[in-house]
Chains A and B, each alone.
Chain A
């Protein structure tokens, strides 16, 4: 600040006669009064801890609100190359941890992610440079494999993806139905990854156990993420792929073979199971004009499928028979099923009440889970990930596993400790890294600055409309609704340049621009900036 100098308006003589100030208080270096000083330190938001890929949610929201959606997209994709996919199908672990949950409902992070992700669909990645001649083979082109390839390629590694099918994407393409995840969305995100460079794709390449040993010799490392492709079928049932199908296989057929899909129409079909596959296959055949009944051995409430799926399925008219198992199948013109009522299940052992019921269906679908095709051991060159490694989980967990393994591979090949930080492109490397970070919890939020406002409610296509075809169920909220929702974010631990600290500094010692600067020459260490920062970014630290 410029000093006021009255010398030119007032003569030396005047000053002798009147007590008039001729200079400013800036001569008093009040910083010497201080015992503690403010320190700017951004922290971790609970939502970022909740997200398996540790997306820096407040940071991309901040850039979105600054009207810089491009930077928002980059921050998001630095951690997760599938934001448009996850914005649709992720069970949003982040939102479970959101600080706003205790206040007036979690921020609808997934909708914001979808919005930014959709915007990013048309933004290609910066071309990846080759930084080493080390080569990595990735087996399986599902989300885990693609994510691993993406992080390796970005870091300068040459990657070859071996994929069994004649397309990439795994369950994103042939598992999750298009009314929840439109194909072109998944396809675009896959294309963007491949077009980044450093990645070679070999389709129609089934890697057998023996082939894997060969690859191990010709590559510096191998990442296996083949998912779970073997059906787990109850002992008393036999698949014939004509009347009795596995849910996984049927869904794959329906999702990739149009003419096959048209064959099923006007039939009555029973689906056994209570997971995502059961609901997805049931909702898919419902859309093809069939009557569908889900038969599940526990209650609907206990069914492991996502709650959202169950609710939507019921709205669409799925019939659900709870606490029942198929005890007998008689193949006549149709299938005659005898259902036994379940009394209880003890250690996975089903105990029946003795009550039975007969139903007649055209076809039966078994969606009772998947298993590994073959067992592979981890070793110093073979890395495992995705559903294959951790069992049937979710897309984001597959992505996170691909990412973690990419960095494990890099650390291994470069002889670095695993927890090395790569400040350039990544926010956090793994869960364990959180130990060295401070997480801003609800107590640290200054609620005075936030009015209560309920979360965004996303509109859905009416159930009647949905079942006519494969249109996406969730409708896209308008831009202003998304921005409004983004504004609900507390931005826990991440400075969003709100200038609250600047406002409340009684000593004019704060400058907010790309972070916060303190003028320690004058700062008296009152701590108001720290107390008033709505999001716990400023700490008072001892000052000698």
Chain B
């Protein structure tokens, strides 16, 4: 991707409260470059509620509504319909929520909105735990990962919830997974989401230096490795079309390389890593990637 061709306009203000190297802030910055100024953000409790700045400040150049945890998709549906009634059908109403607010707490509202074919975009920035309240496990936390509520690692009996397929089973207008570490993929998917009509869902992998126990400078390379090792697969489904994997490396790297970079995995022994690697391989085979 030629970064020189990206517009210089910024909708993210300086001075936000994101930790150094946080991918959630970075992802918002670029999502808004695609979505543009006709965008309204609806945001449940999450790190982003803090990143956005304390009253009376805001980190965004577009309107942002803070809403109760479980309600994002429901509020967004209402806002979108209000705009339509007002004669502003072009407004992009976008939920911007964490994994806790999506995989766990907001799920019923999301399912409802998807089933009603609400014309909104739902973005989940997934940092794989409840980061804002101190790194508690969520149903997006990968097996093996340390959190404050899984001090010896998230038990292997769990699997990261398959949000992509949960949404896909609602037959949405668009559903995709991506990460800002792959700028082309990220931009293309936000572009598609913006142009589609109906319920659209983007699941972003979003590194969190304190939660993942990584150096802030590695936060992009960590996400990149997640894709290159196949623990996170970038894919999409447009309307009725088949699921499409949008990035396949020449050869997948061993997941060990991804774990090595992160303190949250440092307690894993060889055997555990092998079990996880096997699960990844199984999924990749299912997706015809191995």
The reply to whether B29 and A21 form a contact with Cβ atoms under 8 Å apart is no
The reply to whether A25 and B21 form a contact with Cβ atoms under 8 Å apart is no
The reply to whether A25 and B219 form a contact with Cβ atoms under 8 Å apart is no
Contact of A19 among B25, B55, B183 (CB under 8 A): B55
Q: Which residue of A lies closest to B30 (CB)?
A: A503
Interface membership of B59, Cβ < 8 A: yes
Whole-angstrom distance from the CB of B28 to the nearest CB of chain A? 9
Specify which chain B residues have a CB less than 8 angstroms from the CB of A448 in the assembled complex. 224
Specify which chain B residues have a CB less than 8 angstroms from the CB of A30 in the assembled complex. 14-17
Known A519-B14, A531-B221; contact A506-B57, beta-carbon cutoff 8 A:
no
CA distance A528 to B61 in the complex (A): 24
Q: How many A-B residue pairs have CB under 8 A?
A: 120
The reply to whether A506 and B13 form a contact with Cβ atoms under 8 Å apart is no
CA distance A3 to B14 in the complex (A): 10
CA distance A525 to B217 in the complex (A): 9
The reply to whether B59 and A524 form a contact with Cβ atoms under 8 Å apart is no
Specify which chain A residues have a CB less than 8 angstroms from the CB of B12 in the assembled complex. 508
Interface membership of A243, Cβ < 8 A: no
Q: Considering residues B13, B25, B61, which has the most beta carbons from chain A within 10 angstroms of its beta carbon?
A: B13
CA distance A540 to B215 in the complex (A): 13
Specify which chain B residues have a CB less than 8 angstroms from the CB of A187 in the assembled complex. none
Q: B189-243: which have CB < 8 Å to A?
A: 209, 215-221, 224
The reply to whether A527 and B215 form a contact with Cβ atoms under 8 Å apart is yes
Known A23-B57, A497-B4; contact A507-B216, beta-carbon cutoff 8 A:
no
Q: Which residue of A lies closest to B10 (CB)?
A: A508
Contact of A25 among B20, B23, B53, B183 (CB under 8 A): B53
Whole-angstrom distance from the CB of B143 to the nearest CB of chain A? 27
Q: Residue-by-residue, is A513-538 near B (CB-CB < 8 Å gives 1, otherwise 0)?
A: 00000010110111110111000000
Specify which chain B residues have a CB less than 8 angstroms from the CB of A521 in the assembled complex. 14
Q: Which residue of B lies closest to A506 (CB)?
A: B26
Interface residue total, chain B, C-beta cutoff 8 A: 38
The reply to whether B21 and A1 form a contact with Cβ atoms under 8 Å apart is no
The reply to whether B13 and A526 form a contact with Cβ atoms under 8 Å apart is no
Interface membership of A302, Cβ < 8 A: no
Interface membership of A4, Cβ < 8 A: yes
The reply to whether B3 and A499 form a contact with Cβ atoms under 8 Å apart is yes
Q: A23-68: which have CB < 8 Å to B?
A: 23-30, 33-34
Interface membership of A504, Cβ < 8 A: yes
The reply to whether B20 and A26 form a contact with Cβ atoms under 8 Å apart is no
Interface membership of B82, Cβ < 8 A: no
Interface membership of A20, Cβ < 8 A: yes
The reply to whether B183 and A26 form a contact with Cβ atoms under 8 Å apart is no
Whole-angstrom distance from the CB of B35 to the nearest CB of chain A? 17
Contact of B220 among A20, A21, A531 (CB under 8 A): A531
Specify which chain B residues have a CB less than 8 angstroms from the CB of A526 in the assembled complex. 20-21, 209, 216-217, 219
Whole-angstrom distance from the CB of B262 to the nearest CB of chain A? 15
Contact of A21 among B10, B14, B23, B53 (CB under 8 A): B53
CA distance A28 to B61 in the complex (A): 16
Interface membership of A498, Cβ < 8 A: yes
Specify which chain B residues have a CB less than 8 angstroms from the CB of A500 in the assembled complex. 3
Specify which chain B residues have a CB less than 8 angstroms from the CB of A25 in the assembled complex. 13-17, 52-53, 57-59
Specify which chain B residues have a CB less than 8 angstroms from the CB of A505 in the assembled complex. 26
Whole-angstrom distance from the CB of B14 to the nearest CB of chain A? 4
Contact of A506 among B25, B52, B53, B61 (CB under 8 A): B25
The reply to whether B20 and A21 form a contact with Cβ atoms under 8 Å apart is no
Name B's A-contacting residues (CB within 8 A): 3-4, 6, 10, 12-23, 25-26, 29-30, 52-53, 55-59, 61, 183, 209, 215-221, 224
Name A's B-contacting residues (CB within 8 A): 1, 3-4, 15, 19-30, 33-34, 448, 497-500, 502-509, 519, 521-522, 524-528, 530-532, 540
New A-B pairs, 20, CB < 8 Å, besides A24-B53, A25-B16, A28-B15: A1-B10, A21-B56, A21-B57, A23-B57, A23-B58, A24-B57, A25-B53, A26-B14, A504-B220, A506-B18, A506-B29, A522-B15, A524-B20, A524-B21, A525-B216, A526-B209, A526-B219, A527-B20, A531-B220, A532-B220
Pairs A–B under 8 Å by Cβ, sample size 8: A1-B14, A3-B13, A29-B15, A499-B3, A508-B12, A521-B14, A527-B215, A528-B26
